[in-house]
Amino acid sequence: MKFMMTMIETMDDFAKRDDPTQAPAYWAAWMAYSKAIEELGVLHDAAGLQPPSTAATIRLADDKRHVQDGPFADSKEQLGGYFVVDVADLDAALELAARAPCASTGGVEVRPLLPPQEPSD
């Protein structure tokens, strides 16, 4: 069963990415985590995201386009990346999610993917 683990990072976490003293440990922790998931043989897909300041959000309302700089929700914690893993159940996915470096700073949301739809007709 496939689950997406959405990695939620704090602004502190995003700041570590470019901080010369903290960046090496930050990236090494994520590299090690990715490697562990891969070696467990459950990795389906994964990607990291650039910081929320690089985002733009569009909404269509009243027949107009509204484009804004920044992420969809203006909150202290933001999406930093995701992993899609193929594991037996939610318990197993939580077991992996707990080990993510951001689990102790921001958090990890774990959600099952919709099953692939059979094409109708």
Contacts of 25 (CB under 8 A, 6+ apart): 16
Pairing label, strands 2-10, 107-112: antiparallel
Among residues 91 and 118, whose Cβ is nearest to other proteins?
91
Among residues 24 and 70, whose Cβ is nearest to other proteins?
24
| Least distance to other proteins, CB of residue 31, Å | 7
Among residues 4 and 55, whose Cβ is nearest to other proteins?
4
Contacting positions for other proteins (CB under 8 A): 24-25, 28-29, 31-37, 39-40, 90-91, 94-95, 98-99, 101, 103-104
Among residues 79 and 105, whose Cβ is nearest to other proteins?
105
* Tokens, residue 5: 């683990």
| Least distance to other proteins, CB of residue 75, Å | 21
DSSP of 63-82: TEEEEEES-SS--SEEEEEE
| Least distance to other proteins, CB of residue 101, Å | 7
Q: Are 111 and 97 in contact (CB under 8 A)?
A: no
Terminal alpha carbon distance of the chain: 26
| Least distance to other proteins, CB of residue 79, Å | 21
